[in-house]
Structure 1
Amino acid sequence: MKEKFIRFMYGRYGVDAFGKFLVILGLALIIFSGFTRFRLIPLLAWVVIIYAYFRIFSRNIYKRSAENQSYLKRTAKIRSFWWNQKNLMKQRKTHHIYKCPSCHQKIRVPKGKGKIEIRCPKCQNTFVKRS
């Protein structure tokens, strides 16, 4: 069965970031439609999901790739912001993150070193903080 599906998908576009976004958006709209009485929302949800599956099974790879690149380009700032926030939360387990008082550059210092003098790599200002 798995090989039949692999043969069926050969030459087709498949799942990408925009396709995942469309499926999640469609499912969110279906859930949201359960709480409202608007008849247009479930219809819109199904249109979004059908379009997502159309993209997955499409043989026009060039056009689907261009759509995905456009989506990635438009959402780059949002995705970058969330990736940075996630990365900062990971680092907070082992490091303190301070801002330089003069230039506001973020500086990462390992935890557990006591009182240390920190030199800003950007403006060379020094200040004392507890790590």
Structure 2
Amino acid sequence: MEWLRRFMYGRYGGDNLSKALLVLSFILLMITNLLPRALIGLELIAYIPTLVCVYRIFSRNIYKRQQENYKYLRIRNSAIVWFRRKMNITKDLKTHKYFTCPNCRQKLRVPRKQGKISVTCPKCKNSFKGKS
């Protein structure tokens, strides 16, 4: 075990992007198993994320690998926030209505069944009318 520790000294190792690349490779391999055998070239494409993952794990350029992981995490987290926001909106549609401020494009939530109301944007203080 000591030889592995010495070998990995100064190398980047695994991170979230490496895990995502392995999962992507696994998914691509599952998809290629469902396709006919005539498309063997697709199996080779499924191994590309695995090779990139191995390269990243054994890389000595730690700063560059950290920057790649940071960019991946920013994209992943923004996608998660977008998805959760959409799920909350769909869960909330029976009780609330959503308006978009025509001035600043801020999303505003108001309760349903209030009739015609005047909505004031808390961000830009613009007032507009809408039917809830």
TM-score (norm 1): 0.60
Cα pair 1:118 1:127 within 8 Å, conserved: yes
Alpha-carbon distance in structure 2 between the residues aligned to 1:61 and 1:84:
30
Cα RMSD (Å) of the superposition? 3.7
92 and 46 in structure 1: CA distance in 2 versus 1, 3 angstrom threshold = closer
Structure 2 counterpart of 1:89, one-letter code: M
Q: How far 1:15 moved relative to its partner?
A: 3.2
Structure 2 residue 106 is matched with structure 1 residue 106: yes
Structure 2 residue 47 is matched with structure 1 residue 46: yes
User: Runs (4+) of structure 1 moved beyond 6 Å?
Assistant: none
Alpha-carbon distance in structure 1 between the residues aligned to 2:131 and 2:104:
15
Q: How many residues align?
A: 121
Counterpart residue number, 1:126: 128
Alpha-carbon distance in structure 2 between the residues aligned to 1:29 and 1:72:
19
Identity %: 29
Q: How far 1:30 moved relative to its partner?
A: 0.7
Alpha-carbon distance in structure 2 between the residues aligned to 1:60 and 1:105:
42
The 3-state SS of whatever aligns with 1:103 is coil
**Where in structure 1 are there 5+ consecutive unaligned residues?**
none
Alpha-carbon distance in structure 2 between the residues aligned to 1:64 and 1:41:
27
Cα pair 2:108 2:121 within 8 Å, conserved: no
Q: How far 1:39 moved relative to its partner?
A: 1.9
TM-score (norm 2): 0.60
